[in-house]
């Protein structure tokens, strides 16, 4: 078997060869000349992409905060309560939460209504924040870009509680993000041959995607570090999934853009002329965008880059237009006013975002279950001895099916309440609608349609898996019972033969016993 060199080693060696060739005097031929030409091409493309990724004149970009979302199903409510009390011990001592265990039980177990409850704050150890009547947790290892984290719980479906963590960022977050974008990056070259004098061609990764990767990786690492801080206390449905080196919790990132032109036509012009700048920030303003003139909502997209399979949802505040709708004198500055009011938008979209993210995760689990189930159904030698394994797998299938069916029933039952909760985002209309496609126009309706469509699709897939595997288990059970009956039949024959042989071997003694027994009966 031919040994395959890992891509990381190939990239590392290719980069070193090019760095070495760049330090040498100019060659007119040979493999060093080829390396110098490739490096010159990299420098030229890097400068070109750097110019394309510059922000428009007068536009300022701010990374304000982001919301992490975790959900707990009814089966996990007890562990959820214990984790919250460990995270925020002050919940039991606070005046407003004096009866927290009782209130929490009533909040989670009720099937007739929803609700919202603010719980407390997480801050870095030693940092003081002027909030009163808040349960506070101090965590030493919070990233330096984090100012504080506000924790709340929401309930829309009777069997699901959502916990939101609003991660408020310092100015360092925006500064660090813009520093990453200001750097010059070279495209990634990977030679097919490990030795530069045996030039057999190479592959090149576009430098524009590398800029985006660096920014998205930094944001992902920030989210991962926060998740590591709260994982010992809050470990719900999303935290229990295996995601590798990617964040577990869904997120909605909130950005601010100052100095943008007002009006749809002006914004379209900016979007077309500043495509490189927007793309470098990981902002795809070309599809699934909804706006109301003062803010934009962008759905998360998959396979943005090689290393980031899924971006967060984004809310972009169009600064000047948004401020016109606010009375900033009641707040501690413009940023405070915008953060406070955008939380209402996040609360409005939360019911559907939480369910959509649950369905995305459930889809990945169903895909794995589907492969495991259909693989188990192959006829193999000794498969009859794996019935216990099949039963465990069937239990997992049934559990996923039950959770999905329950979510579907509760969502349809609470649809009027969800419409009411999401009414404030009804004004967010789709931007650049495709005239050839019958698209739902506002964010509220499209979110609800997404949920309904995904639930129906997953229910059909899971129903096929569950029914097929149940029939397979029934057949295996019949086979096991038949083999058990057959084994008992042969065992009965063996025991009968052994009994007859034993009787024949002791026939003389048996005759004496019977003779004595008959004499005894005659005496009676």
Which pLDDT band holds residue 438 (cuts at 50, 70, 90)?
Answer: low
In degrees to the nearest 10, what's the CA dihedral of 75, 80, 83, 89?
Answer: -140
Residue 511 and residue 366 share a domain = no
Q: Is the residue at 386 inside a domain?
A: yes
Look at residues 170, 205, 240 and tell me which one is the last residue of a structural domain: 205
The mean pLDDT of 59-77, rounded to a whole number, is: 92
Q: What is the pTM of this model?
A: 0.83
Residue 453 and residue 378 share a domain = yes
Look at residues 205, 234, 252 and tell me which one is the last residue of a structural domain: 205
Cβ neighbour number for residue 362 with a 10 Å cutoff? 21
Q: Is the residue at 148 inside a domain?
A: no
Cβ–Cβ under 8 Å, residues 187 and 42: yes
**pLDDT tens profile 331-340:** 888 899 999 9
**pLDDT tens profile 119-147:** 889 988 766 665 555 788 888 889 999 99
| pLDDT value, residue 307 | 46
Residue 368 and residue 456 share a domain = yes
Residue 492 and residue 405 share a domain = no
Q: Is the residue at 391 inside a domain?
A: yes
Residue 495 and residue 357 share a domain = no
Cβ neighbour number for residue 505 with a 10 Å cutoff? 10
**pLDDT over threshold 60, residue 384:** no
The mean pLDDT of 307-332, rounded to a whole number, is: 80
In 53-99, alpha helices (H):
77-87
The mean pLDDT of 44-63, rounded to a whole number, is: 88
Cβ neighbour number for residue 503 with a 10 Å cutoff? 10
* Domain enclosing residue 417, as ranges: 352-477
Give the residue, 2 or 172, on which the prediction is more confident: 172
| pLDDT value, residue 308 | 44
Residue 451 and residue 394 share a domain = yes
Question: Distance between CA 227 and CA 229 in Å, rounded?
Answer: 5
In degrees to the nearest 10, what's the CA dihedral of 128, 129, 133, 139?
Answer: -60
**pLDDT tens profile 84-93:** 888 888 777 6
Q: Is the residue at 275 inside a domain?
A: no
Q: Mark 447-476 as b/e (b = at least 16 C-beta within 10 Å).
A: bbebbeebbeebbebbeebbeebeebbeeb
Q: What is the mean pLDDT of the chain?
A: 82
Question: Distance between CA 119 and CA 135 in Å, rounded?
Answer: 7
| Count: domains in the chain | 3
């Amino acid at each position: 078997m031919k040994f395959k060199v890992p891509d990381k080693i190939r990239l590392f060696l290719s980069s070193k060869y090019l760095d070495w060739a760049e330090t040498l005097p100019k060659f007119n031929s040979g493999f060093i000349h080829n390396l110098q030409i490739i490096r010159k091409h990299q420098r030229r493309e890097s400068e070109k992409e750097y110019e394309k990724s510059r922000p428009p004149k007068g536009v300022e970009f701010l990374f304000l905060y982001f919301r992490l979302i975790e959900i707990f199903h009814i089966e996990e409510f007890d562990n959820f309560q214990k984790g919250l009390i460990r995270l925020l011990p002050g919940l039991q001592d606070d005046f407003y939460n004096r009866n927290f265990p009782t209130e929490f039980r009533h909040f989670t177990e009720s099937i007739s209504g929803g609700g919202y409850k603010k719980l407390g704050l997480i801050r870095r150890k030693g940092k003081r924040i002027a909030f009163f009547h808040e349960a506070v947790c101090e965590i030493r290892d919070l990233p330096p870009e984090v100012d504080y984290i506000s924790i709340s719980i929401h309930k829309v479906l009777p069997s699901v509680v959502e916990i939101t963590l609003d991660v408020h960022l310092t100015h360092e977050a925006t500064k660090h993000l813009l520093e990453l974008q200001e750097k010059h990056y070279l495209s990634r070259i990977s030679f097919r041959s490990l030795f530069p004098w045996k030039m057999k061609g190479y592959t090149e990764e576009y430098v524009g995607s590398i800029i985006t990767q660096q920014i998205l990786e930094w944001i992902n690492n920030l989210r991962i570090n926060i998740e590591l801080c709260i994982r010992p206390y809050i470990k719900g449905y999303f935290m229990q999934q295996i995601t590798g080196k990617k964040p577990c919790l869904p997120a909605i990132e909130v950005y601010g853009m100052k100095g943008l032109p007002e009006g749809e036509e002006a914004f379209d012009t900016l979007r077309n002329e500043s495509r490189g700048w927007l793309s470098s920030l990981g902002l795809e303003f070309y599809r699934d965008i909804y706006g109301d003139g003062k803010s934009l909502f962008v759905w998360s997209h998959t396979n943005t880059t090689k290393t980031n399979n899924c971006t967060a949802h984004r809310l972009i505040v169009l600064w000047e237009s948004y401020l016109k709708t606010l009375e900033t004198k009641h707040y501690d500055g413009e940023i405070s006013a915008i953060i406070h009011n955008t939380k209402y938008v996040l609360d409005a979209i939360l019911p559907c975002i939480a369910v959509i993210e649950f369905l995305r995760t459930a889809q990945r689990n169903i895909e794995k279950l589907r492969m495991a189930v259909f693989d188990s159904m192959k006829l193999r030698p000794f498969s009859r001895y794996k019935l216990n394994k099949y039963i465990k797998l069937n239990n997992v299938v049934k559990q996923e099916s039950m959770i999905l069916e329950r979510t579907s029933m509760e969502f349809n039952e609470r649809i009027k309440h969800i419409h009411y909760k999401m009414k404030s985002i009804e004004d967010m209309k789709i931007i650049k609608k495709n005239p050839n496609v019958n698209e739902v126009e506002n964010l509220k309706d499209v979110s609800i349609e997404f949920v309904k469509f995904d639930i129906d699709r997953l229910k059909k897939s899971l129903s096929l898996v569950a029914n097929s595997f149940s029939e397979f288990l029934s057949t295996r059970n019949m086979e096991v019972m038949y083999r058990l009956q057959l084994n008992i039949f042969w065992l009965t024959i063996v025991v009968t033969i052994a009994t007859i042989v034993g009787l024949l071997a002791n026939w003389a003694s048996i005759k004496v016993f019977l003779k004595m027994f008959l004499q005894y009966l005659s005496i009676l």
